[in-house]
Amino acid sequence: MNPQSKPRQASDPSAAVQFRHVALVGKYQAMGSKAALNGVAHFLLDQGCEVALEYDTALNTGLSAYPALTLEQIGRSCDLALVVGGDGTMLGVARQMARFGVPVIGINQGRLGFMTDVRYEEYPAVLAAMLRGQYQEDPRDLMKACVWRDDECIFNTVAVNDVVVNRTSAGMVELRIDVGGRFVATQRADGLIISTPTGSTAYALSAGGPLVHPGIGGWVMVPIAPHTLSNRPIMLPSSEEIVVEIVGGREVSANFDMQSITSLIHGDRIKVTRSSHQLRLLHPVGWSHFDTLRNKLHWNEDAIGSLA
């Protein structure tokens, strides 16, 4: 269990729902998503909730029986955002909901589902309890990232998973890295990943970074195919500002959660700090980060097989 998670249990399982106005966001490109979303919406109505659909979800599924709201409208008017899809769908919603302090629950219709951890087949029983206060709240730190050019911020956003600087053509990029106002190194590599603990199971993991428990207040900085093999992943305190300056390389870009991209030129600096907002991720009572890792990364399978 995340030490920061906050278990809550309603004393009466028949108690009234705590989340009166619930917004549904779906992976509307997926086969069967319309039927799945409609089923969840009817379930929520039966529980006594007022239901709205995120605007693009409603538009692309044709589900017109419910009010359609933008993500900003959801943040301003809803008590809960319910994501039906995978972690990719969750990321875009999470960034927006964090600004408004709206909690998020994920129903997994994707493949891995590190953040969308309620199995679709089990949602009626699990959601019924969570809507009545039987949940664990798991606060997740976010990154704030700004791209500076000639002392002007030309792009800014927040990231749940990671900030990635990499090349889009042949050749390496050369990056100067400062942490907390102190020079760390100039490195040549295919790129650099600065990841939150939440993002440590994403691109950073495939690039050789460590798994970081979400209760740890830090970032992990992972070089992508570094020229110098002694350039290894490093944990950094999230209280410090990280500055990455583009020194050399062609066609360099910065990606934020792999969902927003900006092109960079020599002299550009990406400043990464901890966001003032946190994602309020809700899990069923009894949820454990280690259970998630074990199930999604298939730990112990060989050991169990050898004992059979």
pLDDT of residue 29: 80
Please determine, for residue 90, whether its predicted confidence score (pLDDT) is greater than 60: yes
Task: Please give the share of the chain, as a percent, with pLDDT higher than 70.
Answer: 92
Q: Contact, 36 vs 6, CB < 8 A?
A: no
| Structure tokens given for 189 | 């590599």
Q: What would the pLDDT profile of 186-202 be if each residue is shown by its tens digit?
A: 999 999 999 999 999 99
Taking Cα atoms as reference points, which of 45, 2, 5, 6 lies closest to residue 22?
Answer: 45
Please determine, for residue 259, whether its predicted confidence score (pLDDT) is greater than 90: no
Q: What would the pLDDT profile of 20-64 be if each residue is shown by its tens digit?
A: 999 999 988 877 889 999 999 999 999 999 999 999 999 999 999
Q: Output the average pLDDT for the chain.
A: 91
pLDDT of residue 307: 47
- pLDDT-derived band at 110 (thresholds 50, 70, 90) equals low
Q: Which of the residue ranges 9-23, 98-112, 118-132, 134-148 would you say has the lowest mean pLDDT?
A: 9-23
Taking Cα atoms as reference points, which of 23, 157, 162 lies closest to residue 103?
Answer: 23
Active-site positions read 87
Q: Contact, 40 vs 84, CB < 8 A?
A: yes
**Interval 133-161 mean pLDDT:** 96
Phi-psi region of 60 (alpha: psi -120 to 50; beta: other; left: phi over 0): alpha
Residues 6+ apart with CB under 8 A from 191: 164, 165, 166, 167, 173, 223, 224, 225
pLDDT of residue 10: 45
pLDDT of residue 305: 52
The full set of domains in the chain, from first to last, is: 17-131 (3.40.50.10330), 141-276 (2.60.200.30)
Please determine, for residue 72, whether its predicted confidence score (pLDDT) is greater than 60: yes
- pLDDT-derived band at 7 (thresholds 50, 70, 90) equals low
**Interval 120-139 mean pLDDT:** 95
Please determine, for residue 241, whether its predicted confidence score (pLDDT) is greater than 50: yes
